[in-house]
Amino acid sequence: MRYLPKSPAERQEMLAAIGAKSIDELFSSIPERFRLREALKIPGPYSEAEIIQYFKDRAAENSNGYTSFLGAGVYNHLRSVVTDTIILRGEFLTSYTPYQAEISQGTLQAIFEFQTLMSQLTGQEVANASMYDGSTAMTEAVLMAERLTGRQRVLVARSVHPEYREVLKTYAKNSGLLVEEIPFAANGTVDQQKLKIALKDDVAAVVVQSPNFFGVIEPYAPLAESAHASGAMFVVAITEGVSLGLLRPPSEADIVAMEAQSFGLAPSYGGPFAGVIASRDKYVRQMPGRLAGQTTDSEGRRGFVLTLATREQHIRREKATSNICTNQALCALAATVHLTLLGKEGLREMAEQNLSKAHFALSELLKIPGVRRTFDAPFFNEFTVEFPRSVKIVNSQLSREKIIGPFALGTPYPELTKHALVCVTETTPRAEIERFAGALKRALEQPV
């Protein structure tokens, strides 16, 4: 087998050196009755070409040739081929967690650069080396706020991504956290009146997302003020990081939980992505996950090490800030490479293109009779529109024209049945936006 570097003769030599007559002897500690006598019933062995063919066949059964208008937490953005050139280098791809700093300086410096970029983007003082994704980053941010305030109630905007809220609920059930949802107002932003009413001095965190699930940009200042006035922490979740190329960051936030998928990570049917937690220096000892810190060696040379490890599971065990061990390091590296390629100007330009294309798309769609804009508030690259009929039916008609239509909001938000979340990024050509508008018009002209 091509992954096994042994010849039969070498195996014999090694067995002889051990003093065993057969390999079975080396498994003698497993009780006889539990040792398998037959081979596992799994397909293979496949040669390299057969493996490739298998996956090509699966790829052909997916959405090739369709243009998508889906966002909702996973975004199509341009990625440079340079990113893969770097992360496919064996020294990055096949190396381990950098516990032995002297032979992992490449990984450690890259993490330090990632932490810096994430801090700069989010307007915070410090960021960690990654969490699993945005949804678990948000959950861990809430748990962090719970530890820091000693309080048990959490107010989460209903306009936060539905799956993020589900993940938070799953974790909250077992940690005694009481999660309450704050509704959205008529313009799609968090209902500030309802928030104020709910805010008592037992709230650990107020959690909002911006742009929120409907694409609407939330006003940070008044929300942060309300939260802080009652001693709660202000936690901001960000699912579309490219927005930070144009939008001012949540510097009022105590903790930011961001999904880094938009920074050079392919959609890949939902993962692997990379979560980010960013916060203030004074809270760093309550931050979960790994941290790379700058230091010097015995000759005064600059180097980097994993630091503040006493927060983590391998030292603190049951008192750790989190159980996380393996994170999303290679994805964070991809994001680091991607962002250094884009640079200051590139990210800003990408964000501007997203905004412009989304505005263009909205204006085209509003020309269609029956299509209405749902929320009258600023947006970035996603917006919500209302159709005169079921979104699912419209989407199945669009599908016949090789268009993957917008996200139907009716399932997570029953009061928004017939509303759809449209996403347009820099990757959507004008011609496709116009084709989408044309196809939608035709779909709505069909008899019901």
Which residues sit opposite 305 in a β-bridge? 293
Whether the Cβ atoms of residue 443 and residue 371 lie closer than 8 Å to each other: no
Judged by CB, which is closer to another protein: 130, or 199?
Answer: 130
Judged by CB, which is closer to another protein: 199, or 395?
Answer: 395
Q: How far is CA 21 from CA 29, 31, 194, in A?
A: 15, 18, 76
Q: Are strands 126-127 and 407-408 parallel, antiparallel or unpaired?
A: unpaired
3-state SS assignment for residue 416: helix
Q: Is 448 in the site for another protein (CB under 8 A)?
A: no
CB under 8 Å to 72, separation ≥6 — which residues?
Answer: 161, 213, 382, 407, 421, 423
Selected binder of another protein within 102, 367, 376, 400 (CB under 8 A): 102
Q: What are phi and psi of 63, to 5 degrees?
A: -105, 30
Q: Which has the closest alpha carbon to 113: 281, 284, 339, 349?
A: 339
Site mask for another protein (CB under 8 A), range 180-209, x = bound: ------------------------------
Selected binder of another protein within 180, 196, 197, 343 (CB under 8 A): 343
Which residues sit opposite 358 in a β-bridge? none
For residues 37-96, which are near another protein according to CB under 8 A? Answer: 39-46, 48, 50-52, 54-64, 66, 68, 70, 72-74, 76, 78, 80, 82, 84-96
CA 431, 436, 439, 441 dihedral sign is: negative
Selected binder of another protein within 205, 253, 291, 335 (CB under 8 A): 291
For residues 5-44, which are near another protein according to CB under 8 A? Answer: 5-6, 10-11, 13-15, 17-20, 23, 26-31, 34-36, 39-44
For residues 380-399, which are near another protein according to CB under 8 A? Answer: 395-396, 399
For residues 308-327, which are near another protein according to CB under 8 A? Answer: 308-310, 312-320, 322-327
Judged by CB, which is closer to another protein: 185, or 246?
Answer: 246
Q: How far is CA 78 from the centre of its chain?
A: 17
Q: Is 212 in the site for another protein (CB under 8 A)?
A: no
Judged by CB, which is closer to another protein: 40, or 448?
Answer: 40
d(CA 186, CA 209) in angstroms, rounded, equals: 17
3-state SS assignment for residue 162: helix
For residues 240-269, which are near another protein according to CB under 8 A? Answer: 244-249, 266-269
Smallest gap from residue 445 Cβ to another protein (A): 22
Q: What are phi and psi of 381, to 5 degrees?
A: -120, 10
Q: Is 178 in the site for another protein (CB under 8 A)?
A: no
Judged by CB, which is closer to another protein: 317, or 367?
Answer: 317
Whether residue 211 has a cis bond before it, omega within 30° of 0: yes
Q: Is 346 in the site for another protein (CB under 8 A)?
A: yes
Q: What is the DSSP letter of 265?
A: -
Smallest gap from residue 79 Cβ to another protein (A): 10
Which residues sit opposite 208 in a β-bridge? 236
Selected binder of another protein within 147, 194, 228, 359 (CB under 8 A): 359
For residues 108-167, which are near another protein according to CB under 8 A? Answer: 109-113, 115-117, 119-121, 125-127, 129-130, 132-136, 161, 163-164, 166-167
Q: What are phi and psi of 405, to 5 degrees?
A: -75, 180
Judged by CB, which is closer to another protein: 92, or 372?
Answer: 92
Whether the Cβ atoms of residue 80 and residue 338 lie closer than 8 Å to each other: yes
CA 348, 353, 354, 355 dihedral sign is: positive
Exposure of 65 in the CB half-sphere (CA atoms within 13 A): 6
Judged by CB, which is closer to another protein: 323, or 446?
Answer: 323
Smallest gap from residue 448 Cβ to another protein (A): 21
Burial letters 421-432, b for 16+ CB under 10 A, else e = bbbbbbbbeeeb
Selected binder of another protein within 198, 341, 393, 444 (CB under 8 A): 341
Judged by CB, which is closer to another protein: 272, or 410?
Answer: 272
Selected binder of another protein within 146, 254, 382, 426 (CB under 8 A): 426
Judged by CB, which is closer to another protein: 200, or 316?
Answer: 316
Q: Is 418 in the site for another protein (CB under 8 A)?
A: no
